[in-house]
Amino acid sequence: MTLGLMNGGRGTILLVDDDENDQVLFEQSLLRAGCPIHLVALQDGRKALEYLKAEGQFIDRNQFPLPKLVFLDSLLPAVSGGEVLKFIKNDPNLRRIPVVILTGGISPTDVGKMYDLGANAVCLKPASVNDLHAFAASVCQFWMRGTISGQEE
């Protein structure tokens, strides 16, 4: 599913989360924050890999550009968030894309594994809508406006 957020064309965020409600709330929070991005939301790890590899319905890079930032739910159907993370960080064309793991709960051991695989951050999913709005605003400020990407444009 590609959500309609487009506000200035500054980059694409790939959100991989199996909960459609979380996807919609995340999009609304980014809109509220005035974040100049395009959000692509997918529901499982297999679709995320297809997107990142430009396969199947995602073959057109003009329509489905590489993301400037990836948010991965740690628990995904089909292919886990950890496997998608591992793929990204092992691919020379993708490994510089920042990846943030979002989770409803995770053990300290699993947090360490995510960082070992190359996660740029591991974050608990915000517990309230207000917390989500604040999270989205900080994401936009730091990752989309305040950092310089290692990706070629």
Question: What is the share, in percent, of the chain residues with pLDDT greater than 90?
Answer: 49
Determine the Cα–Cα distance for residues 113 and 108; give it in Å rounded to an integer: 9
Average pLDDT over residues 80-94: 96
Residue 104 sits in a domain of what CATH number?
A: 3.40.50.2300
What residue numbers bound the domain in which 18 lies?
Answer: 2-25+34-118
Q: Is residue 143 part of a domain?
A: no
Q: Is residue 148 part of a domain?
A: no
pTM given for the model = 0.85
Measured at the CA of 32, the angle between CA 4 and CA 37, to 5 degrees, comes to: 45
pLDDT band at 147 (very low <50, low <70, confident <90, very high): low
Q: Which residues contact 10 (CB under 8 A, 6 or more apart)?
A: 36, 37, 68, 144
